[in-house]
Amino acid sequence: MSLQSIKYQRGSLEILDQLLLPVLSKYVPVRGVEDGWKVINKMQVRGAPAIAIVGCLSLAVEIHPEEFETKKSLRQEIEGKLNYLVSARPTAVNMKISADELIALSNELAKDDTVSVADMKQRFLHATEAMLEKDIADNRAIGANGAKTILEHVAETAGSAGASAVRVLTHCNTGSLATAGYGTALGVVRHLAELGKLEHVYCTETRPYNQGARLTAYELVHEKLPATLVLDSMVAALLRVKNIAAVVVGADRVAANGDTANKIGTYQIAVVAKHHGVPFYVAAPLTSIDLQIPSGDHIIIEVRPDREMTHVGEHRIAAPGISCWNPAFDVTPAALITGIITERGVFRPEVLKAEITALQS
Amino acid sequence: MSLQSIKYQRGSLEILDQLLLPVLSKYVPVRGVEDGWKVINKMQVRGAPAIAIVGCLSLAVEIHPEEFETKKSLRQEIEGKLNYLVSARPTAVNMKISADELIALSNELAKDDTVSVADMKQRFLHATEAMLEKDIADNRAIGANGAKTILEHVAETAGSAGASAVRVLTHCNTGSLATAGYGTALGVVRHLAELGKLEHVYCTETRPYNQGARLTAYELVHEKLPATLVLDSMVAALLRVKNIAAVVVGADRVAANGDTANKIGTYQIAVVAKHHGVPFYVAAPLTSIDLQIPSGDHIIIEVRPDREMTHVGEHRIAAPGISCWNPAFDVTPAALITGIITERGVFRPEVLKAEITALQS
């Protein structure tokens, strides 16, 4: 079964420390918002959906034992701390969207005279806990939608009724470790395997934090899926010789036009996929799609410290004195994306905004 | 000044152990052909030109103190041991070409009745030592030819008479550490700097052995050139935002049609350069060009052990149990190459064979 990266019971939250994987499997307690901010910022938890869930649950854990005199003081606590949590990893939009939803809920409850302060707290705790369950359900839907689309495309291309098993490539980690469970892009891979249609999955190392080598490979070995690790530099060579049916990656943020911010290297893979005529899919829950942002030009890219590139643990791997450029993400233009796989369907980038707006209206 | 990676005096050879850089600068004695084979196979010395020179000099060191009864026994020693040295890294053609040249020389001397066995040994030692000097002279010519071509292209594109300083990207290590000195692709970068026309050089990390981060960065810091390290996954993002004038890489082997085998990741960079309209140059001495091979399809790609990908030193960086694909090289099709920079000029791939044949006739 999938790994459990988030362990939550009301009043108690622990996360599997992803910086220690694959060497150590250690759970770290998250006792409140300060801990939540730190585990997100230090990347002990990562992946846009997991960041949002852990952030919100860290507030639930903090609020759970507290007594609030007034609904106003509870509302202020919720708003202030959620906005603080958003600042821990600004590129991931899911935390911002979740924060905005919970703030809107608390504003509504604060205004509603039929709701007591105790009720308001309970309703807030329920809402955060529902996110955890919804994420897993959404991921299963993403997995099913993505697997269907990939297999249909292969069947069309092959001109046969049913597709044979496929080889796919994924980047970074978008599995149980990046979400509440199952995964987005890796959920698609899991669903292909459940259908008996996964011939092989290739995962990229994903420098500088090696999420592919450490985390995706860990999940794939754990579940005994047929998998091979490649380096970030090998994608072109792989697509040239290994008959890859599709590339499927996650997203930190998708703009209204379909431009997608994701782990550094994603854009390069998309260019290479286009060159080789391999379909390139982004798998993401609707919470990763930010219709407020017209295009990728408006996405702020986090630049992280040089040390992530120059060291592995305490081991120096780059010449002392060299400068580094370390953007954590890049933006893949919509034109390179075949489809965006969500829990509500797979959308071409050019119709994404219209389709999602229609779903939500 | 450039680093000295090969220290040779007649009867004595030492190489700078590149596996220990940048942490330690340690010279390793090479006392004969067994040592030569090992330092090449273990990649303590690397780079196609340096491999050929160290291989041949290891034989020179071994033969130097030996007494040969007959020219036949000397000829057999030379032929047998050179063919053995070729087997240490089969993809690099320079060692094969150098071996064939020295074998031809020894056959010729063996047949010539005016040459004594002592003369034959001296002539053989001279021939190997001349390779060391010729490599440096050739690299300086490559540097000058490459810098001129890049600057001319920029001037043409900008529509102005003289080009301003340029930003370039290189991959792997092709500098003093990969050659007898100065370098091929890095020689082009050095020459741009000597002309005052190097605004900035970006070097890729070059997984799995990190030759870019360890060796190229080390050389660039050593010479105080304006330089920044990027990850292999960042090339597309870099070309999109940093106004790179050219990519220049080395070659392990160039086929007659211009297809080029080079460090894994080169093909991917070429695809990405094409997508962004950035000229892509291969810098290599004529000894790296193998007109006997019609195309890259005939180049055997060395697949190296998983451990290179799963560990950094003793530090495991990939999940236990994951399979790896670790081709050491890839082949860049000629259609993606703007020009091949040699010591005798810069050639478009489609005229490479004709031009070189004309030079050699």
The reply to whether CATH 3.40.50.10470 applies to domain B143-360 is: yes
> Helix, strand or coil for residue A172?
coil
> Tens digit of pLDDT for each residue in B61-71?
999 999 999 99
Segment B225-241 mean pLDDT: 98
The reply to whether residue A317 touches residue B264, judged by beta carbons under 8 angstroms, is no
Q: How far is B321 from chain A (nearest CA, A)?
A: 6
Give residue B1's pLDDT band: very low, low, confident or very high (50, 70, 90): low
The pTM is what?
0.89
Partner residue facing A205 (CB), from B207, B268, B321: B207
Give residue B23's pLDDT band: very low, low, confident or very high (50, 70, 90): confident
Best B202, B303, B322 residue to mutate vs chain A (most A CBs within 10 Å): B322
Nearest chain B residue to A22, by CA = B319
Domain boundaries defined on chain B: 6-133, 143-360
- Contact of B3 with chain A, judged by CB distance below 8 Å, is answered with no
Q: What is the pLDDT of residue A226?
A: 98
> Helix, strand or coil for residue B111?
helix
| A234 or A156, which is more confident | A234
Nearest chain B residue to A275, by CA = B271
Annotated active-site residue in B252, B259, B290, B330: B252
> Helix, strand or coil for residue A343?
coil
- The one-letter code for the residue type at B234 is M
- Contact of A91 with chain B, judged by CB distance below 8 Å, is answered with no
A252 is an active site residue: yes
Partner residue facing B315 (CB), from A204, A313, A325: A313
The CA-to-CA distance between both ends of chain B, in Å, stands at 37
The reply to whether residue B236 touches residue A22, judged by beta carbons under 8 angstroms, is no
Segment B66-80 mean pLDDT: 96
The reply to whether CATH 1.20.120.420 applies to domain B6-133 is: yes
> Tens digit of pLDDT for each residue in B164-219?
899 999 999 999 888 888 999 999 999 999 999 999 999 999 999 999 999 999 99
In chain B, positions 223-252, which contact chain A (CB-CB < 8 Å)? 227-238, 240
Segment B214-235 mean pLDDT: 96
> By the 8 A CB rule, do A173 and A211 touch?
yes
In chain B, positions 59-88, which contact chain A (CB-CB < 8 Å)? none
Taking alpha carbons only, the member of B305, B277, B235, B296 closest to residue B41 is B305
A59: number of Cβ within 10 Å: 23
Residue A316 reports pLDDT greater than 70? yes
Taking alpha carbons only, the member of B30, B80, B79 closest to residue B50 is B30
CA B315 to chain centre: 29
Q: What is the ipTM of this complex?
A: 0.88
Q: What is the pLDDT of residue A287?
A: 87
Q: How far is A202 from chain B (nearest CA, A)?
A: 9
Partner residue facing B236 (CB), from A206, A267, A315: A267
